[in-house]
Amino acid sequence: MSDYLPGLAGVPATKSNISDIDGNKGILSYRGYPIEQLAERSSFEETTLLLLDGELPTRQELAEFDEQLRENRRVKYNIRGLMKTLPATGHPMEMLQSAIASLGMFYPGNACLIGGDACEDLFYIHNMTVKIIARMGTIVAMWEHLRNGYDPISPRNDLTYAENFLYMLDGKDPDPMLARIMDVCLILHAEHTINASTFAVLVNASTLASPYSVIASAIGALSGPLHGGANQRVLEMLHEVGSPQNAGAYVDKKLANKEVIWGMGHREYKTKDPRATILQGLVSKLIEERGGNINPMMETALAVEKAAEERLAHKGVYANVDFYSGILYSEMGIPVDQFTAIFAIARSAGWLAHWREQLGDNRIFRPTQMYTGSPSRDYVTLDSRG
């Protein structure tokens, strides 16, 4: 029997051609395309179609896919009614998991998932994929209004995915620069090989569960602070640090107590996360656009990163994507507890690409275990137990 490896660290669980990481060199690519090029030149819609189909689309293919996303942004009033019954104090990720899981009851369809080992109905897969991705942003934006006692803002079909999401958050035509920043953020978070939430997708997809259940399971995994929830913790950490002058002492204290420094380190990268580098550049551009006055939180973040790097670089611990994404969303005026939900919106593209890949050559996941319990023994009656 193979050795037990906690967390399946380094154990190949599947074969995939969707994305790849070179952790030593700090390289991330989607379908072979470097993330830096996609962030600079692509859009979330185009990147999503690349992840799903494997190739950059033609102009016509992209236009058709974009139109399908726009046409499927609206949700039935029943969904809004269900969301109104949820506690306003609930976390957006809990809401999102509940709402996505419920979509299967309002938009049923599992014709491809009736048994056997594979699903080859690409029309079904594509149709379900469009419906889920299109509505992820809508549901997250709706919650921002519903939990504050207001009716949600209806989506607009004349806006891009990123533009529409920002519009639905505050009802204002989005600033072009902020819309582009959001678009890049969605691209950067869209896919990242077999992480915890994507592994949840594979396991659930292998049982031929509905895609709504599959994505709901992934949202649950992403909500954890050791996965997508870390970007919210970064903001909380920076508030705790207070000022740049406190950064060194704060990092030393965390290390001495063997506590987590949120946003630092990544299991895959031994150098700075390439997504963090791009996000840091976006923060700088936004600050420059706003007159060059650096946000105190950004100053504190830079000091924390420097202090952590001085102490941990020799161990291959550097800033990851969560460190700067939270700072950027904060600069954009987005509530802190919505950060991970935005992560989920973007990652739905990668999740559904892996869902499709799993269905194409399916085998149910059934790992084994190493039993560490009691040896075989006879049952003792209750009267004999004293």
Three-state DSSP class for residue 231: helix
Which bin fits 116, alpha (ψ -120 to 50), beta or left (φ > 0)?
A: left
Q: 305 vs 207, 223, 274, CA distance in Å?
A: 42, 24, 15
Element (H, E) at 34: strand 33-34
Show which residues are catalytic: 266, 322
Specify burial of residue 12 (Cβ count, 10 A radius: 0-12, 13-18, 19+).
Answer: exposed
Residue 303 tokens read as 């000091």
AA letter at 365: F
Q: Are 187 and 343 in contact, with CB atoms under 8 Å apart?
A: no
For residue 163, which of 61, 37, 43, 276 has the smallest C-alpha distance?
43
Alpha helices by DSSP H, listed for 290-319, are 296-312
Q: Determine the Cα–Cα distance for residues 56 and 48; give it in Å rounded to an integer.
A: 10
Which bin fits 193, alpha (ψ -120 to 50), beta or left (φ > 0)?
A: left
Q: Are 340 and 223 in contact, with CB atoms under 8 Å apart?
A: yes
Three-state DSSP class for residue 172: coil
Q: Determine the Cα–Cα distance for residues 301 and 307; give it in Å rounded to an integer.
A: 10
State the DSSP code for 319.
B
How many Å separate Cα 204 from the centre of its chain?
17
Element (H, E) at 162: helix 161-170
Residue corresponding to tokens 């079904």: 124
Three-state DSSP class for residue 228: coil
For residue 356, which of 97, 7, 14 has the smallest C-alpha distance?
14
AA letter at 107: Y
